[in-house]
Amino acid sequence: MSTLHPVHTIEDLACAIAAIPYASLLGMQVRDEAGQPMFFLPYAEHNIGNTLLPALHGGVIGGFLENAAVLHLMWAREAEGIPRVIDFSIDYLRSGKPQDLFCRCDIVRQGKRIANVLMTAWQDDAARPVAQARAHFLLA
């Protein structure tokens, strides 16, 4: 899938999430927070990796952050094409508890062909992130 309908609003983002199979599988959602998209992953037992702690699976956290960045770029650019990942680096800072996970994306730099995005995921307190990721994307 290389194109979706143009993304102009938070409602368009919600439709885009529904069109991305992995984002739908995770249960990813979006809402408007001060005019910016704020992505969240409601707690679901199937997203648990370590059942002994219990803790969210690292791949779930990484996939959530990557999808959030792609969607954020689509929203910020109001573009139809899906940005492609060039590189992705994640720092896991603490265990993801069995509760909702939130994400905010910041476009650090965007040119005509490449964008650099910083993603931060947290649960109880935005000042205590669960993970931070940085990625470069090739813009469609």
The DSSP result for 22-88, as a single string, is HHHHHT-EEEEETTEEEEEE---GGGEEETTTTEE-HHHHHHHHHHHHHHHHHHHHT-SBPPEEEEE
pLDDT digits (tens, 9 = 90+) for 66-79: 999 999 999 998 66
> Contact at 8 Å (CB) between 64 and 39?
yes
pTM to 2 decimal places: 0.92
Mean pLDDT of the chain: 92
pLDDT, tens digit, for every residue of 88-122? 999 999 999 999 999 999 999 999 899 999 999 99
| CATH architecture for segment(s) 10-138 | Roll (3.10)
Domain boundaries, given as residue ranges, for the chain: 10-138
Residue 97 CB coordination number (10 Å): 15
